[in-house]
């Protein structure tokens, strides 16, 4: 039984590696693409849909971290521990200097006493454009001062793809199952 699981898991990982090698994986771009799919959703007008996706009432809870958790999972990434807090995203992926930032990187900014997180869309000498949740009560692209940037983070491509394949429901079917809160397979 264990050998069946191991061979299924191994086949999934090898398949993911072949896909990544034959089709270059753009991890940062996929985060931006996923975030943009939700553009325009408003915390009041689209409250029911956002509640279902985020698991909280966005009209009563700061929700930029919740939104980024959704985006990361949709893009096949593992959100950081305590991802619901914007500041927790300073530990996501690997650190990138501001001058090497590219669209799709995760950016954490400081706004007065609070933190905010979003996906980098554009960067100039003075401004950073982020696509994120809880930006004027909705998912949208907003402009912030470049000086407010606290961290720029980038998720890994190959590692993320292999992890996603190894922990997918398909890889975990049969002799194992995937617990939604975890990123690994469990024996039945």
Per-residue pLDDT reduced to its tens digit, 81-118: 999 999 999 999 999 999 999 999 999 999 988 999 99
Interatomic CA distance for residues 178 and 25, integer angstroms = 24
pLDDT higher than 90, residue 168: no
User: Residue 4: its pLDDT value, please?
Assistant: 54
Interatomic CA distance for residues 65 and 174, integer angstroms = 34
User: Residue 29: its pLDDT value, please?
Assistant: 72
User: What b/e string do you get for 139-170 counting C-beta neighbours within 10 Å, with b at 16 or more?
Assistant: bbbeebebebbebbbbbebeebbbbbbbbbee
Provide the whole-model pTM: 0.71
Interatomic CA distance for residues 62 and 172, integer angstroms = 34
Mean pLDDT of 62-67: 98
């Amino acid at each position: 039984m264990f050998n069946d699981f191991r061979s299924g898991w191994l086949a999934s990982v090898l398949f993911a590696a072949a896909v990544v090698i034959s089709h270059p994986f753009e991890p940062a771009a996929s985060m931006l693409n996923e975030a943009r799919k939700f553009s325009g959703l408003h915390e009041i007008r689209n409250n029911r849909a956002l509640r279902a996706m985020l698991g909280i009432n966005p009209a009563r809870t700061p929700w930029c971290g919740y939104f980024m958790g959704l985006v990361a999972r949709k893009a096949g990434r593992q959100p950081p521990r305590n991802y619901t807090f914007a500041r927790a995203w300073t530990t996501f992926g690997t650190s990138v200097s501001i001058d090497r930032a590219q669209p799709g990187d995760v950016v954490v900014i400081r706004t007065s006493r609070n933190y905010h997180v979003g996906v980098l869309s554009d960067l100039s000498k003075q401004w950073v454009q982020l696509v994120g949740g809880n930006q004027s009560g909705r998912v949208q692209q907003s402009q912030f001062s470049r000086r407010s940037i606290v961290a720029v983070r980038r998720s890994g491509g190959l590692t993320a793809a292999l992890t996603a394949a190894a922990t997918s429901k398909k890889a975990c079917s049969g002799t194992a199952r995937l617990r939604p809160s975890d990123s690994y397979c469990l024996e039945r």
